[in-house]
Amino acid sequence: MIYGKIFYKGEFVEAGIEVEDGRIKKIGKLVKGKEVRGIVLPAGVDVHVHFRDFEEREKETIESGSLAALHGGICLVVDQPNTKPVVDDAEIYFRRMEIAERKTYVDYGLNLALTTSNVEKIAETVEKIRKKYFLPAIGEVFLQNSNKELEIGYEILRNLRVDAKVTIHAEDPRFVEIGFPNFLFRKKEAEVVAVKECERIGKFHFCHLSTREAVESVKRGTFEVAPHHILFSVEDHKRLSDLVNVNPPLRQKSEAEWLLRNFDKLHVLASDHAPHTLEDKKRGSAGFPGVETTFPIFVELARRGLISLRDLVEKVAVNPAKIFSFRNYGEIEVGKFANFAIFDLKKVNEIRAEELHSNCGWTPYEGFKAVFPEQVYLRGEEVLQSQLRSGRVLKISGV
Protein backbone atom coordinates (compact mmCIF):
# COMPACT_ATOMS: atom_id res chain seq x y z
CA MET A 1 0.00 0.00 0.00
CA ILE A 2 2.75 2.48 0.96
CA TYR A 3 6.53 2.29 1.08
CA GLY A 4 8.83 4.57 3.02
CA LYS A 5 10.79 5.28 6.19
CA ILE A 6 8.60 3.57 8.77
CA PHE A 7 8.90 3.68 12.56
CA TYR A 8 8.74 -0.04 13.32
CA LYS A 9 9.64 -1.81 16.57
CA GLY A 10 11.38 1.25 18.00
CA GLU A 11 13.45 2.22 14.98
CA PHE A 12 13.15 3.45 11.40
CA VAL A 13 13.25 0.93 8.58
CA GLU A 14 12.79 1.25 4.82
CA ALA A 15 9.81 -0.99 4.22
CA GLY A 16 6.37 -1.33 2.74
CA ILE A 17 3.05 -1.79 4.53
CA GLU A 18 0.37 -4.08 3.12
CA VAL A 19 -3.17 -3.56 4.40
CA GLU A 20 -6.19 -5.85 4.34
CA ASP A 21 -9.61 -5.00 5.78
CA GLY A 22 -8.22 -1.95 7.58
CA ARG A 23 -5.47 -3.86 9.38
CA ILE A 24 -1.77 -4.23 8.70
CA LYS A 25 -1.24 -7.55 6.97
CA LYS A 26 2.49 -7.42 6.23
CA ILE A 27 5.52 -5.16 6.80
CA GLY A 28 8.75 -5.71 4.92
CA LYS A 29 11.31 -4.48 2.44
CA LEU A 30 9.83 -6.67 -0.29
CA VAL A 31 6.31 -5.32 0.23
CA LYS A 32 5.46 -2.98 -2.63
CA GLY A 33 3.50 0.21 -2.26
CA LYS A 34 3.22 3.88 -3.10
CA GLU A 35 6.46 5.58 -2.06
CA VAL A 36 5.91 8.38 0.44
CA ARG A 37 8.20 11.26 1.36
CA GLY A 38 8.96 11.83 5.02
CA ILE A 39 8.67 9.57 8.05
CA VAL A 40 5.77 7.26 8.83
CA LEU A 41 4.78 7.31 12.51
CA PRO A 42 1.91 5.61 14.31
CA ALA A 43 -1.03 8.02 14.39
CA GLY A 44 -1.51 9.52 17.84
CA VAL A 45 -3.96 8.56 20.57
CA ASP A 46 -5.11 11.60 22.57
CA VAL A 47 -6.70 10.31 25.77
CA HIS A 48 -7.78 13.71 27.08
CA VAL A 49 -9.94 16.09 25.04
CA HIS A 50 -12.97 18.24 25.79
CA PHE A 51 -15.09 18.49 22.66
CA ARG A 52 -17.91 20.43 24.40
CA ASP A 53 -20.86 20.19 21.97
CA PHE A 54 -24.37 19.86 23.53
CA GLU A 55 -25.05 23.30 25.06
CA GLU A 56 -21.52 24.62 24.32
CA ARG A 57 -21.40 24.20 20.56
CA GLU A 58 -19.96 27.68 20.08
CA LYS A 59 -16.77 26.50 21.80
CA GLU A 60 -16.34 23.15 20.07
CA THR A 61 -18.25 20.22 18.66
CA ILE A 62 -17.37 16.61 18.13
CA GLU A 63 -17.27 17.45 14.43
CA SER A 64 -14.89 20.43 14.67
CA GLY A 65 -12.77 18.93 17.44
CA SER A 66 -12.27 15.63 15.63
CA LEU A 67 -11.39 17.45 12.40
CA ALA A 68 -8.74 19.35 14.35
CA ALA A 69 -7.49 16.04 15.76
CA LEU A 70 -7.21 14.59 12.27
CA HIS A 71 -5.12 17.53 11.09
CA GLY A 72 -2.88 16.99 14.11
CA GLY A 73 -2.12 13.36 13.22
CA ILE A 74 -4.45 11.85 15.82
CA CYS A 75 -6.42 8.69 15.00
CA LEU A 76 -8.31 8.21 18.29
CA VAL A 77 -9.55 10.64 20.94
CA VAL A 78 -11.06 10.11 24.38
CA ASP A 79 -13.60 12.80 25.18
CA GLN A 80 -14.23 13.92 28.76
CA PRO A 81 -17.73 13.92 30.27
CA ASN A 82 -17.89 17.30 32.07
CA THR A 83 -20.08 18.71 29.32
CA LYS A 84 -23.40 20.56 29.62
CA PRO A 85 -25.27 18.37 30.43
CA VAL A 86 -22.75 16.14 32.21
CA VAL A 87 -22.36 12.63 30.80
CA ASP A 88 -23.28 10.86 34.02
CA ASP A 89 -25.80 8.22 32.91
CA ALA A 90 -26.23 5.73 30.09
CA GLU A 91 -28.90 7.72 28.26
CA ILE A 92 -26.70 10.81 27.87
CA TYR A 93 -23.71 8.62 27.08
CA PHE A 94 -25.59 6.90 24.24
CA ARG A 95 -26.84 10.22 22.90
CA ARG A 96 -23.31 11.60 22.66
CA MET A 97 -21.95 8.46 21.04
CA GLU A 98 -24.73 8.65 18.43
CA ILE A 99 -23.61 12.19 17.56
CA ALA A 100 -20.05 10.94 17.19
CA GLU A 101 -21.16 8.13 14.87
CA ARG A 102 -22.49 10.79 12.49
CA LYS A 103 -19.91 13.52 12.93
CA THR A 104 -16.46 12.28 13.95
CA TYR A 105 -13.46 12.39 11.61
CA VAL A 106 -11.33 10.15 13.86
CA ASP A 107 -12.12 7.19 16.08
CA TYR A 108 -13.94 8.35 19.19
CA GLY A 109 -14.16 7.18 22.79
CA LEU A 110 -15.99 8.74 25.73
CA ASN A 111 -15.43 8.62 29.46
CA LEU A 112 -18.21 8.51 32.06
CA ALA A 113 -18.51 11.15 34.77
CA LEU A 114 -18.46 10.35 38.47
CA THR A 115 -20.66 12.73 40.46
CA THR A 116 -22.00 12.89 43.99
CA SER A 117 -25.44 11.96 42.65
CA ASN A 118 -24.50 8.93 40.53
CA VAL A 119 -21.84 7.33 42.72
CA GLU A 120 -24.27 4.80 44.24
CA LYS A 121 -25.26 3.47 40.82
CA ILE A 122 -21.96 3.91 38.97
CA ALA A 123 -21.27 0.17 38.69
CA GLU A 124 -24.74 -0.43 37.24
CA THR A 125 -24.25 2.41 34.73
CA VAL A 126 -20.86 1.06 33.66
CA GLU A 127 -22.36 -2.37 33.06
CA LYS A 128 -25.16 -0.91 30.95
CA ILE A 129 -22.77 1.13 28.80
CA ARG A 130 -20.42 -1.81 28.27
CA LYS A 131 -23.18 -3.84 26.66
CA LYS A 132 -23.00 -1.43 23.74
CA TYR A 133 -19.70 0.47 23.89
CA PHE A 134 -16.11 0.19 25.06
CA LEU A 135 -15.76 2.49 28.08
CA PRO A 136 -12.20 3.88 28.37
CA ALA A 137 -12.52 5.14 31.95
CA ILE A 138 -14.51 6.86 34.66
CA GLY A 139 -13.30 10.43 34.85
CA GLU A 140 -11.62 12.77 34.79
CA VAL A 141 -12.74 12.68 38.42
CA PHE A 142 -12.41 16.17 39.89
CA LEU A 143 -11.09 16.42 43.44
CA GLN A 144 -11.77 20.17 43.15
CA ASN A 145 -14.48 21.76 41.03
CA SER A 146 -16.66 24.85 41.21
CA ASN A 147 -19.59 22.52 40.47
CA LYS A 148 -19.92 20.74 43.81
CA GLU A 149 -21.73 17.80 42.22
CA LEU A 150 -18.53 17.11 40.26
CA GLU A 151 -16.25 17.56 43.28
CA ILE A 152 -15.37 14.09 44.59
CA GLY A 153 -13.72 13.59 47.95
CA TYR A 154 -11.07 11.05 48.90
CA GLU A 155 -13.60 9.06 50.91
CA ILE A 156 -15.74 8.41 47.83
CA LEU A 157 -12.65 7.20 45.95
CA ARG A 158 -11.67 5.02 48.90
CA ASN A 159 -15.07 3.32 48.89
CA LEU A 160 -15.55 3.18 45.12
CA ARG A 161 -16.29 -0.36 43.98
CA VAL A 162 -16.32 -0.50 40.21
CA ASP A 163 -14.40 -2.53 37.65
CA ALA A 164 -13.16 0.35 35.51
CA LYS A 165 -10.11 2.56 35.12
CA VAL A 166 -10.46 5.81 37.05
CA THR A 167 -8.73 9.00 35.90
CA ILE A 168 -8.12 11.80 38.38
CA HIS A 169 -7.87 15.58 38.09
CA ALA A 170 -5.55 15.82 41.07
CA GLU A 171 -5.94 19.13 42.87
CA ASP A 172 -6.78 19.15 46.57
CA PRO A 173 -9.45 21.83 47.22
CA ARG A 174 -7.75 22.88 50.47
CA PHE A 175 -5.00 24.53 48.39
CA VAL A 176 -7.21 26.13 45.74
CA GLU A 177 -8.61 29.66 45.84
CA ILE A 178 -10.37 31.72 43.21
CA GLY A 179 -8.50 34.59 41.56
CA PHE A 180 -6.75 35.81 38.45
CA PRO A 181 -4.24 34.84 37.23
CA ASN A 182 -5.07 31.48 38.70
CA PHE A 183 -1.44 30.34 39.11
CA LEU A 184 -1.29 32.72 42.08
CA PHE A 185 -4.24 30.99 43.74
CA ARG A 186 -4.01 27.28 42.80
CA LYS A 187 -0.96 26.22 44.75
CA LYS A 188 1.52 23.59 43.70
CA GLU A 189 0.69 21.74 46.92
CA ALA A 190 -2.83 21.12 45.62
CA GLU A 191 -1.48 18.74 43.00
CA VAL A 192 1.27 17.16 45.06
CA VAL A 193 -0.95 16.44 48.08
CA ALA A 194 -3.75 15.08 45.90
CA VAL A 195 -1.46 12.67 44.02
CA LYS A 196 0.14 11.38 47.20
CA GLU A 197 -3.23 10.85 48.89
CA CYS A 198 -4.67 9.06 45.84
CA GLU A 199 -1.59 6.85 45.64
CA ARG A 200 -2.35 5.73 49.19
CA ILE A 201 -5.95 4.94 48.26
CA GLY A 202 -5.48 2.92 45.09
CA LYS A 203 -4.22 2.68 41.53
CA PHE A 204 -5.37 5.56 39.34
CA HIS A 205 -4.45 7.33 36.12
CA PHE A 206 -3.57 10.97 36.81
CA CYS A 207 -4.50 13.62 34.27
CA HIS A 208 -2.24 16.54 33.24
CA LEU A 209 0.39 16.46 36.01
CA SER A 210 2.42 19.66 36.06
CA THR A 211 5.06 19.33 38.78
CA ARG A 212 8.16 17.26 39.30
CA GLU A 213 7.12 16.20 42.80
CA ALA A 214 3.75 14.93 41.61
CA VAL A 215 5.29 13.00 38.71
CA GLU A 216 7.87 11.40 40.99
CA SER A 217 5.14 10.49 43.50
CA VAL A 218 3.31 8.21 41.06
CA LYS A 219 4.40 4.65 41.89
CA ARG A 220 1.22 2.56 41.61
CA GLY A 221 -0.66 4.35 38.88
CA THR A 222 0.01 6.04 35.56
CA PHE A 223 -0.08 9.66 34.47
CA GLU A 224 -0.20 12.06 31.57
CA VAL A 225 1.36 15.47 31.03
CA ALA A 226 -0.17 18.18 28.85
CA PRO A 227 1.98 20.07 26.32
CA HIS A 228 1.33 23.45 27.90
CA HIS A 229 2.91 22.39 31.18
CA ILE A 230 6.07 21.53 29.25
CA LEU A 231 6.09 24.49 26.87
CA PHE A 232 4.78 27.33 29.08
CA SER A 233 5.40 28.71 32.55
CA VAL A 234 4.20 31.61 34.70
CA GLU A 235 6.70 33.74 32.77
CA ASP A 236 4.35 33.51 29.77
CA HIS A 237 1.66 35.48 31.61
CA LYS A 238 2.70 38.73 29.95
CA ARG A 239 2.40 37.21 26.47
CA LEU A 240 -0.81 35.24 27.12
CA SER A 241 -2.45 37.98 29.21
CA ASP A 242 -6.18 37.22 29.72
CA LEU A 243 -5.74 33.79 28.10
CA VAL A 244 -3.35 32.47 30.74
CA ASN A 245 -5.72 30.45 32.94
CA VAL A 246 -5.55 26.66 32.73
CA ASN A 247 -6.21 23.98 35.36
CA PRO A 248 -3.83 22.88 36.79
CA PRO A 249 -2.22 26.28 36.33
CA LEU A 250 1.07 27.09 34.70
CA ARG A 251 4.03 26.53 36.99
CA GLN A 252 7.47 28.00 37.51
CA LYS A 253 9.85 27.75 34.57
CA SER A 254 12.02 25.26 36.45
CA GLU A 255 9.09 22.80 36.56
CA ALA A 256 8.44 23.09 32.82
CA GLU A 257 12.13 22.69 32.05
CA TRP A 258 12.32 19.59 34.24
CA LEU A 259 9.37 18.01 32.41
CA LEU A 260 10.99 18.60 29.02
CA ARG A 261 14.40 17.43 30.23
CA ASN A 262 12.78 14.27 31.62
CA PHE A 263 10.39 13.67 28.74
CA ASP A 264 11.56 10.06 28.55
CA LYS A 265 10.22 9.45 32.08
CA LEU A 266 6.68 10.61 31.30
CA HIS A 267 3.96 8.03 30.67
CA VAL A 268 1.60 9.83 28.28
CA LEU A 269 1.45 13.10 26.38
CA ALA A 270 -2.19 14.23 26.13
CA SER A 271 -3.43 17.60 24.92
CA ASP A 272 -6.14 18.32 27.53
CA HIS A 273 -7.78 20.13 24.60
CA ALA A 274 -10.10 22.54 26.44
CA PRO A 275 -11.46 25.13 24.01
CA HIS A 276 -13.16 28.31 25.20
CA THR A 277 -14.14 31.37 23.21
CA LEU A 278 -11.96 34.44 23.59
CA GLU A 279 -14.83 36.11 25.47
CA ASP A 280 -14.90 33.22 27.96
CA LYS A 281 -11.14 33.40 28.40
CA LYS A 282 -11.29 37.11 29.17
CA ARG A 283 -13.80 36.23 31.91
CA GLY A 284 -11.24 33.83 33.40
CA SER A 285 -12.23 30.45 31.94
CA ALA A 286 -9.48 27.88 32.32
CA GLY A 287 -8.24 25.75 29.43
CA PHE A 288 -6.15 25.70 26.25
CA PRO A 289 -6.99 24.14 22.88
CA GLY A 290 -4.29 21.72 21.71
CA VAL A 291 -5.53 18.56 19.99
CA GLU A 292 -4.34 19.79 16.57
CA THR A 293 -0.99 21.20 17.66
CA THR A 294 0.40 18.76 20.25
CA PHE A 295 1.81 16.04 17.98
CA PRO A 296 3.13 18.53 15.34
CA ILE A 297 4.89 20.72 17.93
CA PHE A 298 6.58 17.73 19.51
CA VAL A 299 7.62 16.33 16.14
CA GLU A 300 9.38 19.66 15.65
CA LEU A 301 11.01 19.34 19.09
CA ALA A 302 12.23 15.90 18.03
CA ARG A 303 13.50 17.29 14.73
CA ARG A 304 15.54 19.80 16.74
CA GLY A 305 16.89 17.04 18.99
CA LEU A 306 15.22 18.24 22.19
CA ILE A 307 13.41 14.91 22.58
CA SER A 308 13.73 11.61 20.72
CA LEU A 309 11.20 10.39 18.18
CA ARG A 310 11.20 7.05 19.97
CA ASP A 311 10.13 8.72 23.21
CA LEU A 312 7.53 10.81 21.40
CA VAL A 313 5.93 7.79 19.72
CA GLU A 314 5.86 6.02 23.07
CA LYS A 315 4.13 8.92 24.85
CA VAL A 316 1.67 9.89 22.11
CA ALA A 317 0.74 6.47 20.73
CA VAL A 318 2.18 3.32 22.32
CA ASN A 319 1.59 4.06 26.01
CA PRO A 320 -1.90 5.59 25.77
CA ALA A 321 -3.01 2.57 23.74
CA LYS A 322 -1.56 0.14 26.29
CA ILE A 323 -2.74 1.98 29.41
CA PHE A 324 -6.33 2.29 28.18
CA SER A 325 -6.44 -1.15 26.49
CA PHE A 326 -6.89 0.10 22.93
CA ARG A 327 -5.37 -3.11 21.70
CA ASN A 328 -5.53 -2.37 17.96
CA TYR A 329 -3.97 1.10 18.19
CA GLY A 330 -0.63 2.66 19.07
CA GLU A 331 1.92 0.86 16.90
CA ILE A 332 2.67 0.05 13.30
CA GLU A 333 2.47 -3.71 13.70
CA VAL A 334 0.96 -6.67 11.90
CA GLY A 335 -2.64 -7.23 13.03
CA LYS A 336 -3.22 -3.70 14.31
CA PHE A 337 -5.27 -1.05 12.57
CA ALA A 338 -3.40 0.65 9.71
CA ASN A 339 -3.33 4.02 11.47
CA PHE A 340 -0.33 6.18 10.69
CA ALA A 341 0.70 9.78 10.02
CA ILE A 342 3.33 10.88 7.52
CA PHE A 343 5.50 13.88 8.46
CA ASP A 344 7.91 15.63 6.13
CA LEU A 345 10.56 16.98 8.49
CA LYS A 346 11.62 19.54 5.89
CA LYS A 347 8.24 21.25 6.07
CA VAL A 348 8.31 23.33 9.25
CA ASN A 349 5.51 25.86 9.64
CA GLU A 350 4.53 28.55 12.11
CA ILE A 351 1.23 27.90 13.84
CA ARG A 352 -1.51 30.38 12.95
CA ALA A 353 -4.92 30.26 14.60
CA GLU A 354 -6.74 31.07 11.38
CA GLU A 355 -5.31 27.93 9.79
CA LEU A 356 -6.48 25.60 12.58
CA HIS A 357 -9.82 23.80 12.73
CA SER A 358 -11.15 24.25 16.27
CA ASN A 359 -14.32 26.30 16.70
CA CYS A 360 -12.73 28.39 19.46
CA GLY A 361 -10.66 30.36 16.94
CA TRP A 362 -7.46 30.94 18.94
CA THR A 363 -4.37 29.09 20.14
CA PRO A 364 -1.80 29.74 22.88
CA TYR A 365 0.80 28.35 20.45
CA GLU A 366 0.53 31.22 17.96
CA GLY A 367 3.88 31.49 16.16
CA PHE A 368 5.25 28.19 17.46
CA LYS A 369 7.15 26.06 14.94
CA ALA A 370 5.52 22.73 14.09
CA VAL A 371 5.61 19.90 11.56
CA PHE A 372 2.05 19.00 10.59
CA PRO A 373 1.29 15.66 8.93
CA GLU A 374 1.16 15.54 5.14
CA GLN A 375 -1.05 12.46 5.16
CA VAL A 376 -3.01 10.56 7.79
CA TYR A 377 -4.26 7.00 7.31
CA LEU A 378 -7.08 5.52 9.38
CA ARG A 379 -7.52 1.77 8.95
CA GLY A 380 -5.60 1.95 5.68
CA GLU A 381 -7.55 4.82 4.14
CA GLU A 382 -5.99 8.23 3.55
CA VAL A 383 -8.38 10.62 5.29
CA LEU A 384 -6.52 13.90 5.80
CA GLN A 385 -6.47 15.21 2.26
CA SER A 386 -9.99 13.97 1.55
CA GLN A 387 -11.26 14.87 5.05
CA LEU A 388 -13.38 11.74 5.18
CA ARG A 389 -15.38 11.14 8.34
CA SER A 390 -14.42 8.11 10.37
CA GLY A 391 -17.83 7.67 11.98
CA ARG A 392 -16.22 5.12 14.29
CA VAL A 393 -16.91 5.01 17.99
CA LEU A 394 -15.41 2.53 20.40
CA LYS A 395 -17.74 -0.44 20.51
CA ILE A 396 -17.45 -3.68 22.43
CA SER A 397 -15.43 -5.27 19.63
CA GLY A 398 -12.89 -3.65 17.36
CA VAL A 399 -11.01 -1.62 19.91
Tell which residue, 222, 95, 71, has the closest CA to residue 79: 95
Question: What does each C-alpha distance from 233 to 92, 210, 243, 323 come to in angstroms?
Answer: 37, 10, 13, 28
> CA dist 182 to 3, 59, 106, 218, 227, Å?
49, 21, 33, 25, 18
Backbone angles phi, psi at 65, to 5 degrees: -65, -40
Give the closest residue to 104 by CA, choosing from 140, 68, 156: 68
Q: What is the mean pLDDT of residues 25-44?
A: 95
Give CA 285 to chain center in angstroms.
20
- Give per-residue pLDDT as tens, 319-354: 999 999 999 999 999 999 999 999 999 999 999 999
pLDDT of res. 397:
59
Confidence of residue 399 (pLDDT cuts 50, 70, 90): low
Mean pLDDT (whole number) for 358-364:
97
What does the H/E/C string look like for 311-376? HHHHHHHHHHHHHCCCCCCCCCCCCCECCEEEECCCCCEECCHHHCCCCCCCCCCCCCEECCCCEE
49: helix, strand or coil: strand
DSSP conformational letter for 143: S
Round to whole Å and give the CA distance between 285 and 279. Answer: 9
β-sheet with 107-110: strand ranges across = 44-49, 74-79, 107-110
DSSP 133: B
Task: Read off the pLDDT of residues 162-190 as tens digits, 9 standing for 90 and up.
Answer: 999 999 999 999 999 999 999 999 999 99
CA separation for the pair 285, 295 (Å, rounded): 24
Q: Which of 99, 98, 138, 132 is CA-nearest to residue 118?
A: 138
What per-residue confidence (pLDDT) applies to 42?
98
**DSSP state letters, 374-398:** SEEEETTEE-TTTT-----B-BSS-
Q: What is the pLDDT of residues 260-286, one digit of tens each?
A: 999 999 999 999 999 999 999 999 999
pLDDT band, residue 139 (cuts 50/70/90): very high
Asked if pLDDT for residue 20 goes beyond 70, the answer is: yes
Asked if residues 58 and 359 have their Cβ atoms less than 8 Å apart, the reply is yes
Calpha distance 321→324 (Å, rounded) = 6
- β-bridge pairing 107-110 and 138-142: unpaired
In this structure, of 108-122, 169-183, 266-280, 383-397, the range with the lowest mean pLDDT score is: 383-397
The pLDDT of residue 398 is 57
- DSSP 8-state code for residue 117: T
Query: Taking the CA atoms of the chain, what radius of gyration do you get in angstroms?
Result: 20
Q: Using 50, 70 and 90 to split pLDDT, how confident is the model at 388?
A: confident
Distance CA 45, CA 70 (A): 11
Q: Residue-wise over 244-273: b if at least 16 C-beta within 10 A, else e?
A: bbbbbbbbeeebbebbeeebeebbbbbbbb
- Position 396 scores a pLDDT of 78
Give residue 8's pLDDT band: very low, low, confident or very high (50, 70, 90). very high
In the predicted model, what is the mean pLDDT of the chain?
Answer: 96
What's the pLDDT at 61?
Answer: 98
Residues of the chain with pLDDT > 90, as a percent, come to 96
Give yes or no for a contact between 62 and 51, defined as CB atoms under 8 angstroms apart.
yes
28 HSE (CA, 13 A, CB side)? 4
pLDDT tens for residues 186-213? 999 999 999 999 999 999 999 999 999 9
- Specify the pLDDT at position 1: 85
Q: From the candidates 88, 236, 272, 311, give the one annotated as an active-site residue.
A: 272
Selecting from 3.40.190.10, 3.20.20.140, 3.40.50.300, 3.40.50.2000, what CATH number does the domain 2-382 have?
Answer: 3.20.20.140
Query: Has 236 been annotated as catalytic?
Result: no
User: Tell me, what's the pLDDT at 386?
Assistant: 83
